[in-house]
Amino acid sequence: MQLTPEALGGHDGPYDAPLVFRGFKARPEWIDYNGHMNVGYYGVAFDNALELLMVDHLGLGEAQVNAMGQGPYILQSHMNFLREVLEGEAFSIRFRMLDADYKRGHFFAQMVSEKDGAVCATQEALFMNVSHTTGRSVAYPDWAVTRLQRMVKDHTALDPASEVGHPIGIRRK
């Protein structure tokens, strides 16, 4: 059921490949007793950037929840921690949409230090559109499906990321 036939913001593309969100910094309250950003705050940073992608480019996220009573839920997430992020360190987050269908999306994101360009962490995640009334998955409106699929197409030419699709476990020789 399509509750709103018109887009709630964002745009129809083309979408930069990758989409880059700047202006992030490791806040003092994000630093743990090891002197670097605590593992939980990497997830917060990725989620904050995802919301920018959803709202500014796709017209989803908070506006979608308010207008339609449905929104994206993360179903699965896999993060790789490649280099520590220190207090006050500025970073950006680069996104690529890997796949999407009528109610799900699969993305890959990289946290990149503004200081030296190093990739500090990555996140691969699967999200699903969920009704706040039923708590069950629901199809995106047609305009959102079109945008998600356009973003996948616009990001297809990016070089494959080596971290995508890795299983987790102890490596044994």
In the chain, where do the E strands start and end? 19-25, 70-81, 90-100, 104-113, 119-131
Phi, psi angles (nearest 5°) of residue 162? -65, -20
DSSP conformational letter for 117? -
Quote the pTM value. 0.93
**Fold (CATH) for 19-155:** Thiol Ester Dehydrase; Chain A (3.10.129)
pLDDT (0 to 100) of residue 173: 85
User: Long-range contact list for 166-172, CB < 8 A, 24+ apart?
Assistant: 166/78, 166/80, 168/78
Residue ranges of the domains in the chain?
Answer: 19-155
pLDDT (0 to 100) of residue 2: 45
Place of tokens 């699929």: 149
pLDDT (0 to 100) of residue 44: 97
pLDDT (0 to 100) of residue 5: 64
pLDDT (0 to 100) of residue 36: 96
Low-confidence stretches of the chain (pLDDT beneath 70): 1-5
